[in-house]
Amino acid sequence: MATLVLFFAILLFLLVSVSDAQSSFRPKALILRVEKDASTLQYVTTINQRTPLVPVRLVVHLGGQFLWVDCDRNYVSSSYRPVRCRSAQCALARASACGDCVDGPRPGCNRNTCSVIPDNPFIRTATSGELAQDIVSIQSTDGSNPGRVVTVPNYIFTCAPTFLLEGLARGATGLAGLGRARVGLPLQLAAAFSFPRKFAICLATSGVIIFGDRPYRFLPGLEPSLRYTPLFINPVSTASAYTQGEPSDEYFIRVNSIRINDKPLSINTTLLKIDSEGNGGTKISTVNPYTTLETSIYRAFTSLFIQEAAARNISRVAAVAPFGVCFSTQNVFYSRVGPNVPYIDLVLQGQNAVWTITGSNSMVYINDVLCLTFLDGGSNPRTSIVIGGYQLENNFFQFDLAASRLGFSGTLLGSRTTCANFNFTSNA
Ligand SMILES: *[C@@H]1O[C@H](CO)[C@@H](O)[C@H](O)[C@H]1NC(C)=O
Ligand SMILES: *[C@@H]1O[C@H](CO)[C@@H](O)[C@H](O)[C@H]1NC(C)=O
Ligand SMILES: *[C@@H]1O[C@H](CO)[C@@H](O)[C@H](O)[C@H]1NC(C)=O
């Protein structure tokens, strides 16, 4: 009898300590791998979700409100829970409508649920979708290597219909929204594990997204050093559809001026500010593969760039679409930071907040010529400057939502590393 009691005591001890060990592990940061899809130029990541867990391929939308996935096809999970209308989770998602789907119950179609608006910015289409919760599992990191996998049992996301996948990279079944909304990945994960409201992106053909604070290390052990500029809130949503009064979930910064080889462009400064209707200003976006500039800025920018290139005997050749300005490779030398062309400075708000763009991020080699990867954004765009994916590559960015500031590194190529250099050997 005594032995039996002792046996149970030990068993209980073991059970408790095992579950304790699991629940007391608090990750300091989480990491996702990101790959660039060659045909759409979108950045794609994979998150494990559901019970049993399955890998879900998602296109990264830096300014997206939340995670949404196609629930109409192949969504099988015993842990799926629709979010009830007027619940706390519903308020967190700023939902203003109730849904009542009578064809269910099934994932994406239940009665008396909270209805939100999943958005596909690539085709500028939005629709209504059921807010839901399910298990999500992500790898933790100490900043140098991936560590053990952790789970969020009640991760809030949105169910979308299959047609909303149009225009997304092959195999993607949803969008990973990294926007500033409370139900966006950064704030929801920070809340789930009580880590700082910060996340970082380092994009390239292969790169990473890290949720949580420093350290962030890239082989051979380098921590990118950062300069800072404030993040601005656009008071009017930039999503394809939204309820009136909603602010934008996207990340805006202030470009105060642009220089090429230290020569300032003359720009109508009204365009650089966000007005009361939410027009103008500068945002960072993974939806645009290349930076777009409002027409008058584009014209001033390209003519000064062409002039500075000519001063180095780099001559213009016929353009290759979608680019408007291309050059002969003759007289162009190469360095670690790409082709040696005029360098571009984005002079941002804040002290020393100059983001220098070298040939690695301004030029692309195509059909034996070099093209300038800045595009004409039209004469009345919603946002005057949209900094696109190509300009972000192999640069490290930390979005600090608590302090409302952006840390940026400039090209990592100058420090002999790249975004592909995170050490993915697990030390769990
Ligand atoms: C500057 O841009 C604003 C906004 O587009 C426009 O209303 C204004 O007329 C422009 N000013 C000049 C001098 O072109
Ligand atoms: C450009 O070419 C001209 C004529 O060949 C030459 O005199 C000049 O030194 C070159 N300039 C540069 C910056 O290479
Ligand atoms: C990557 O991390 C593993 C595990 O910590 C370590 O053994 C290995 O040396 C690292 N690789 C490099 C190239 O430093």
Domains identified in the chain, total number = 2
| Domain that includes residue 274, residue range | 227-411
Domain containing residue 282: CATH number:
2.40.70.10
Q: Within this chain, do residues 175 and 269 fall inside the same structural domain, yes or no?
A: no
Judge whether 157 and 133 are in contact, CB under 8 Å.
yes
- Output the CA–CA distances (angstroms, integers) from residue 138 to 45, 63, 267, in the order listed: 11, 20, 44
The strand order across the sheet containing 385-387 reads 251-253, 282-284, 385-387, 291-293, 374-376
Q: What is the Cα 250 distance to its own chain's centre?
A: 10
Q: Which of 267, 270, 272 to mutate to test ligand 1, by most ligand atoms within 8 A of the CB atom?
A: 270
Q: Which residue among 212, 242, 267 closes a domain?
A: 212
What does each of the 428 residues of the chain score in pLDDT, given as a tens digit? 344 333 333 333 333 333 334 457 899 999 999 999 999 999 999 999 999 999 999 999 999 999 999 999 999 999 999 999 999 999 999 997 999 999 989 999 999 999 999 999 999 999 999 999 999 999 999 999 999 999 999 999 999 999 999 999 999 999 999 999 999 999 999 999 999 999 999 999 999 999 999 999 999 989 999 999 999 999 999 999 998 899 999 999 999 999 999 999 999 999 999 999 999 999 999 999 999 999 999 999 999 999 999 999 999 999 999 999 999 999 999 999 999 999 999 999 999 999 999 999 999 999 999 999 999 999 999 999 999 999 999 999 999 999 999 999 999 999 999 999 999 999 87
Q: Which residue among 186, 212, 238 closes a domain?
A: 212
Q: Which of 145, 416, 421 to mutate to test ligand 3, by most ligand atoms within 8 A of the CB atom?
A: 145
Q: What is the DSSP letter of 361?
A: H
Element (H, E) at 8: helix 2-24
Q: What are phi and psi of 141, to 5 degrees?
A: -150, 150
Tokens of 368: 């034996």
Check pocket membership of 17 for ligand 3, CB cut-off 6 A. Answer: no
Q: Within this chain, do residues 248 and 194 fall inside the same structural domain, yes or no?
A: no
Q: Within this chain, do residues 47 and 115 fall inside the same structural domain, yes or no?
A: yes
User: What is the pLDDT, as a whole number, of residue 11?
Assistant: 36
